[in-house]
A and B are shown apart, each in its own frame.
Chain A
Amino acid sequence: MTAELQTWIGVIATLAIFSFLIKENPFYRFFEYTVIGMSAAHAVVMTWDNYTKPFWVNGVMKGEYYLLIPGAIAVLYYFRYAPPKYQWLYRYPLALIMGYNIGYSLAYDPRPFMTQIRGTFESLKDLNSFIYLVIFIGVVVYFIFTFGNKSAAVGKTRTFARYAMMMYFGVSFGNTVQGRFSLLLGRLLFLLQDWLGLVKLG
């Protein structure tokens, strides 16, 4: 068993969080709030290191004074907390960023989707691609004819599409469960290897 203080803190925190599985308790609560507090503190430090410091040190202080213009616009965000009379000012950076992102999205976002749609029809070289196409058409029918269609063909297609989607959600859920087990494995390995020293992997 290790004597490292850092590992012991990790172990106590891990066991505290897992204790929730038995039942809600103060030990769990304490560490839950600790995580929230630490996450907030970490976010502040990361924001300073990744945004504020590079802006001044690598930009403005190296003579790129034009950066002060977007910097000043960004400061307007804080007018959200100003007296109501001045709050409208925060809408300017918001409008700028929204416009920029919408323009960007409209210009570039359709491309990968078009590649996907083209690929659906283009690569019909095996059974899998054929199944993919059939499900694709089924799901499109499902969402187009959501309301008020009494056709039997559409009804059957929609039922087929529903089953296909349920299968996809099942696969997705299964993969998520697999991922969660991996996370649990990581924690168990920490307890068995780093704390108890029962195994030596890696």
Chain B
Amino acid sequence: MLEKLNNLDSRWMYLALVIVLVIPIIKPIGMSISVNKDLTQRMYDFIDSLPPGSLIMFDLASNSSSDTEITPMIYAVMEHMYQKGHKLLVAGQWSSGLAFWSPKIDERAREYGWVYGVDYVNIGYKAGGTSTWRAMGQDFWKGAMEVDINGTPFSELPIMQNIRKLDDKTIDCIVIFESGSPGMETWITYFPTIPLCKGSVAAEISSSVRYIPTGQLKGLIPGMRGAAEYEKLVNRPGIATQLMDAQSMSHLLVVALIALGNIAYFGTKRKMARGR
């Protein structure tokens, strides 16, 4: 039995994983979600503390492969901004991220009745990396080549009239949705005075939390779990909340498999030692 378990074909585990994920999607259990006070709650509190009408900049530093984790975060933060009456500036260090999420942001903005160019704007991808961002720090219009994602001149967009520099006097908070590099290092290195929050894919959480105690990060949404927590805080359950049951069940399966694997390994070892 133990040997059988030790040599179990990994395809059975994949099958078990799919079953464990599919059942709670079709028939949710409704497990409760607690909010992480040190990460998600901090970010919520920070954005909540900004006066209505504050300008928040989204940096989409990710791509479509992180859709399931990042999209619910973007929606939850947008919901919070809508509730608080904040304004949105969309930018991105990854061109693929902007291409993927811009239509989704537009769709959600239409739902909120936001007027493009007044309540929110999307400046599109600006090539050149950190030197371009630094140029925007001196003169936003010039650094961003004076046009938005659609090629509309900044001069025709009312919201852009007040955005002349990328600094803490203009931008009240940057929220970066990140799954790799270039990412938040751009902001903590070159723009340390602008408050920074982060929506992070799960793989990046452990390398990001150390920036919380030093204040380099004001808050963090950790993976899809964090997105579900933020959805709870803004009182608008979305796709992350609905998928948390499946996520939790998959974790239970992994814990069970780790336990079984160890039992099989040590059991077999003991048996072999006895045999000798």
A binding-site residues for B, Cβ under 8 Å:
21-22, 42, 46, 49-51, 54, 57-59, 100, 104, 108-109, 111-112, 115-116, 118-119, 123, 129, 132, 168, 171-172, 175-179, 181-186, 188-189, 192, 198-199, 201-202
Q: Does B95 reach chain A (CB closer than 8 Å)?
A: yes
- A-B pairs, top 9 by smallest CB distance, nearest first, are A186-B68, A179-B202, A119-B214, A58-B145, A202-B239, A176-B203, A178-B202, A179-B203, A172-B206
Number of residues on chain B facing chain A (CB within 8 A): 56
A22-B11, A116-B210, A119-B213 given; A111·B239 CB < 8 A: no
Q: Does B167 reach chain A (CB closer than 8 Å)?
A: no
Pick the contact of B251 from A119, A178, A184 — CB < 8 Å? A178
Chain B residues with CB under 8 A of A59: 145
Q: Does B273 reach chain A (CB closer than 8 Å)?
A: no
Pick the contact of A112 from B185, B204, B239 — CB < 8 Å? B185
CB-based nearest A residue for B227: A182
Chain B window 102-132, contacts with chain A (Cβ cutoff 8 Å), 1 for yes, 0 for no: 0000000000000000000000011100110
User: How many contacts between A and B, using CB within 8 angstroms?
Assistant: 126
Q: Does B136 reach chain A (CB closer than 8 Å)?
A: no
Chain B window 26-67, contacts with chain A (Cβ cutoff 8 Å), 1 for yes, 0 for no: 100000000000000000000000000000000000000111
Whole-angstrom distance between the Cβ of A112 and the nearest chain B Cβ: 5
A50-B127, A104-B130 given; A192·B22 CB < 8 A: yes
Given contacts A183-B66, A185-B247, 18 further A-B pairs with CB under 8 A are: A54-B126, A57-B151, A58-B146, A58-B147, A58-B151, A112-B216, A115-B216, A175-B204, A175-B223, A178-B224, A178-B225, A178-B251, A179-B69, A181-B247, A182-B223, A183-B68, A185-B243, A192-B26
User: Which segment of B156-164, B169-177, B188-196 sits at the interface?
Assistant: B188-196
Q: Are A115 and B21 in contact (CB under 8 A)?
A: no
